[in-house]
Amino acid sequence: MEHVDAIVIGMGPGGEVVADRLLTEGRRVAVVERELIGGECAYYACIPTKVLLRSPEAREEAADVAGLSRPDRKWSELRSYRDGMVRHLDDSAQAENYRDRGALVLRGAARIVGRDPWRVEVTGTEVTADHVVVATGSSPIRPPVEGLDRLGPDLVWTNREATNLTEIPSRALVIGGSAVGIELGGFLADMGSKVTIVQRGPRLLDREDPRLCGLVTERFEAEGVTVRTGAEVSSVASEGNGVVAELSDGSRVHADVVVLATGRRPRGDELGLADLGVEPDRGSLPVDEHCRVAPGLWAVGDVTARSMFTHVAKYQGRVVADNVLGGSRVADYTGVPRVVFSHPEIAAVGLTEEQARDQGVDVTTSEVDLTEVLARPWTYATDPIGRLGLVADRGRGVLVGAWAFGPMASEWIHTVSLAIRTGLSVETLRDSIPQFPTYNEGYIVALEALDV
């Protein structure tokens, strides 16, 4: 039986960062993947959604730029670019690359079958290791809707079917109104689908600041998307080539496809760990501040249920690699940015006003319509949009949260991400000199409006 320094189970972005760092440092590494090296993110989530969303975004932006008109959609060209970006669902080059770098590449579902030392079995082959890193990601949750399981994947799409779609449906019913629902629903609507989003909670993006949720909802409604909040889908059934759904209030929605966007469940309970004394919690693996589950057993990414984002999976991957290499690095989740790639982009970081109050912070807030105070929105578009909200701790004189709605908010939210992470004072931030004319200048106006 071969013994290696580390076995990485699951080769999404979290697992890839760990494997890459350990190989670079000359360790003997086995990598295990049951589907595609690159994980959900590369083939069915982040990459295809961002590729698909960019085309309608640029189309709308062109229509709103002086001297341009709205370009034509070219779905077949966008589709084939998407196909290239998801590598035609072929990871043979990735596997070859890991082999060339000295990794033992194992194909199949791993199970952890022993400890002291850790022992992993993959399709009949067993390997032992000093360290095992679990990076097995998460699966979409299927809501308990009567009739859902009687419909096939042509009628009920998870993120997998939705991101690899070949035709744009005329009508789509999206269940769930957070990041996945907004990105996929927004894309389909921009491509001409009649979209209905059914959200169980009181508003879209229900964990974010209500002002932000209101702005997104207004924008969706202006674009013809039907948003049904405080509602649930009770049942679905096939109807002709499509589906008919009955909602909790008795109303009906007719659609060609149902898109599931109702959250994800970590895959920590498919590895046999309970037999070895490690009990997953609703699928997630409990980790300490070093991302350690048990001595020599580590977890990164969605399987830890800590902010399910690729940037968090990659960060945890860097932390775990350093720890496997002998360090004692602690993961700190302060100031993780949260972006939804809608049009315009939604970005948030830190605490909402309500969360800050609940934590006893001496809260003060400000909100700025960036189109009223900056030049940048008007050099960018003829009918611009842009809002920024700040949440500060008056007593400590620091920012504790921010939200933004505007072009490229995914980029400029990082100013606050870094400020919160490093505890930069409001006074220091007010004394910064952002480039003119940029959206970053909005921070000066919003900071000056704070009662700090």
Ligand X SMILES: NC(=O)c1ccc[n+]([C@@H]2O[C@H](COP(=O)([O-])OP(=O)(O)OC[C@H]3O[C@@H](n4cnc5c(N)ncnc54)[C@H](O)[C@@H]3O)[C@@H](O)[C@H]2O)c1
Applying CB under 6 A, the residues found at the interface with ligand X are 143, 175-181, 183, 198-201, 206, 232-233, 261-264, 308-309, 339-341
What whole-number distance in Å separates Cα of residue 364 and Cα of residue 353?
A: 8
Footprint on residues 253-272 left by ligand FAD (CB under 6 A): 267, 270-271
Q: 261 to each of 3, 175, 196, 283, 318, how far by Cα in Å? A: 41, 6, 12, 18, 29
Query: Who's near 47: CB < 8 A, 6+ residues apart?
Result: 41, 85, 86
Which of ligand FAD, ligand X, none interacts with 407 (beta carbon under 5 to 8 A by kind)? none
Instruction: Check binding of 217 to ligand FAD (CB under 6 A).
Output: no
Which listed residue (20, 40, 269, 353) binds ligand FAD by CB under 6 A? 40
Which of ligand X, ligand FAD, none interacts with 388 (beta carbon under 5 to 8 A by kind)? none
Instruction: Check binding of 176 to ligand FAD (CB under 6 A).
Output: no
Which listed residue (55, 94, 136, 415) binds ligand FAD by CB under 6 A? 136
Q: How far is the CB of 157 from ligand FAD (least distance, A)?
A: 11
What whole-number distance in Å separates Cα of residue 137 and Cα of residue 30?
A: 18
Label residues 80-110 b or e (16+ Cβ within 10 Å = b).
eebeeebbeeebeebbeebeeeebbbbeebb
Which of ligand X, ligand FAD, none interacts with 232 (beta carbon under 5 to 8 A by kind)? ligand X
Instruction: Check binding of 45 to ligand FAD (CB under 6 A).
Output: yes
Mark the segment that binds ligand FAD (CB under 6 A) among 36-44, 53-61, 238-246, 319-327: 36-44
Which of ligand X, ligand FAD, none interacts with 14 (beta carbon under 5 to 8 A by kind)? ligand FAD
Phi/psi at 254 (5° precision) = -105, 135
Long-range contacts for 187-191 (Cβ within 8 Å, ≥24 apart)?
187/49, 187/52, 187/53, 187/56, 188/259, 189/220, 189/223, 189/224, 189/225, 190/53, 190/56, 190/57, 190/59, 190/60, 190/223, 190/343, 191/56, 191/73, 191/75
Q: Which is nearer to ligand X, 340 or 399 (CB)?
A: 340
Q: How far is the CB of 452 from ligand FAD (least distance, A)?
A: 31
- The residue whose two tokens read 């009920």 is 156
Which listed residue (32, 103, 227, 400) binds ligand FAD by CB under 6 A? 32
> Where would I find the H helices in 25-74?
39-44, 46-63
Which listed residue (204, 313, 346, 368) binds ligand FAD by CB under 6 A? 313
Which of ligand FAD, ligand X, none interacts with 176 (beta carbon under 5 to 8 A by kind)? ligand X
Q: 250 to each of 221, 292, 406, how far by Cα in Å? A: 22, 48, 36
Q: Are 348 and 209 in contact (CB under 8 A)?
A: yes
Q: Are 234 and 145 in contact (CB under 8 A)?
A: yes
Q: How far is the CB of 54 from ligand X (least distance, A)?
A: 13
Which listed residue (4, 12, 118, 253) binds ligand FAD by CB under 6 A? 12
Q: How far is the CB of 108 from ligand FAD (least distance, A)?
A: 7
What whole-number distance in Å separates Cα of residue 187 and Cα of residue 166?
A: 14
Which of ligand X, ligand FAD, none interacts with 23 (beta carbon under 5 to 8 A by kind)? none
Phi/psi at 9 (5° precision) = -105, 115
The three-class DSSP label of residue 275 is helix
User: Which stretches does DSSP call E strand in 240-294?
Assistant: 242-247, 252-255, 257-260, 264-266, 292-294
Mark the segment that binds ligand FAD (CB under 6 A) among 28-36, 218-226, 355-363, 431-439: 28-36
Mark the segment that binds ligand FAD (CB under 6 A) among 86-94, 124-132, 170-178, 305-313: 305-313
* Site size with ligand FAD, rule: CB under 6 A: 38
Instruction: Check binding of 49 to ligand FAD (CB under 6 A).
Output: yes
Q: Which is nearer to ligand X, 312 or 398 (CB)?
A: 312
Q: Are 16 and 36 in contact (CB under 8 A)?
A: no
Q: Which of 141, 98, 131, 413 is nearest to 298 (CA)?
A: 131
Q: How far is the CB of 135 from ligand FAD (least distance, A)?
A: 5
Phi/psi at 299 (5° precision) = -140, 145
- The one-character DSSP state at 269 is S
Q: 130 to each of 63, 116, 320, 359, how far by Cα in Å? A: 57, 8, 14, 41
Query: Who's near 276: CB < 8 A, 6+ residues apart?
Result: 112, 114, 115
Q: Which is nearer to ligand FAD, 49 or 342 (CB)?
A: 49
Which of ligand X, ligand FAD, none interacts with 11 (beta carbon under 5 to 8 A by kind)? ligand FAD
Instruction: Check binding of 52 to ligand FAD (CB under 6 A).
Output: no
Instruction: Check binding of 41 to ligand FAD (CB under 6 A).
Output: yes
Footprint on residues 94-133 left by ligand FAD (CB under 6 A): 109-110
Which of ligand FAD, ligand X, none interacts with 199 (beta carbon under 5 to 8 A by kind)? ligand X
Residues in contact with ligand FAD by CB under 6 A are 9-15, 32-36, 39-41, 45-46, 49-50, 109-110, 135-138, 159, 180, 267, 270-271, 301-303, 308-311, 313
